[in-house]
Amino acid sequence: MRVVVDYDLCESNAICMQIAPEVFEVRDDDFLYVLDESPGEDLRAALEESVQRCPKQAISLKD
C-alpha cells in the first residue's frame, strides 16, 4: 500500500494528521509531509478514513 498526496489539492487542514499521525505530519512551514509512504496494513483503516475525510480529496492509496 502506497500513500499518495496531491499537493495541488492539499490545503493543510491536517485532519489526516489527527487520524493517522504515524503517516501524516503538517509541520511549522504549514506543509503536509508524508512520514511513511508505504505504511503497514495495520494502518489501512486509519488511512482509508484519512482519504475519505480529507476536505480536498487530496489523498489516495495505491495497492
Partner 1 sequence: MARTRSSITIVGASLAGLWAAETLRREGFEGRISLVGDEAHAPYDRPPLSKKYLAGSVGRERVDLLTPGKAVELGLDLRLGCRATGLDADTHTLEVDGTTESFDGLVVATGTRCRTLPGTSGVAGVHVLRTVEDADAIAAALSSAGRDGARRVVVVGAGFIGAEVASTAVDTGAEVTMVEALDEPFGRVLGVEMGAVLADLHRGHGVELRTGVGVDEVLADGPEGERRVAGLRLVDGSELDCDLVVVGIGVVPNVEWLDDSGLTVDDGVVCDETCLAAPDVVAAGDVARWTNPRYGESMRVEHWDNAVQQGAHAARRLLVADEEAEPFAPVPWFWSDQYDRKLQLAGRIRSEDEVRVVTGSTAEHRFAAFYGSGGRFTAVLGMNRPRHLMQAKTLLDDDASWDEALALATAWE
* Contact set with partner 1 (CB under 8 A): 9, 11-15, 17-18, 25-28, 30, 52-53, 55
Gyration radius from the chain CA atoms: 10
Nearer to partner 1, 3 or 16 (CB): 16
Nearer to partner 1, 17 or 23 (CB): 17
Minimum distance, C-beta of residue 3 to partner 1, in the bound complex (Å): 17
Nearer to partner 1, 1 or 12 (CB): 12
CA distances from 52 to 17, 23, 27, 45, 58 (A): 13, 15, 22, 11, 10
Cα four-point dihedral sign 37, 9, 28, 19: negative
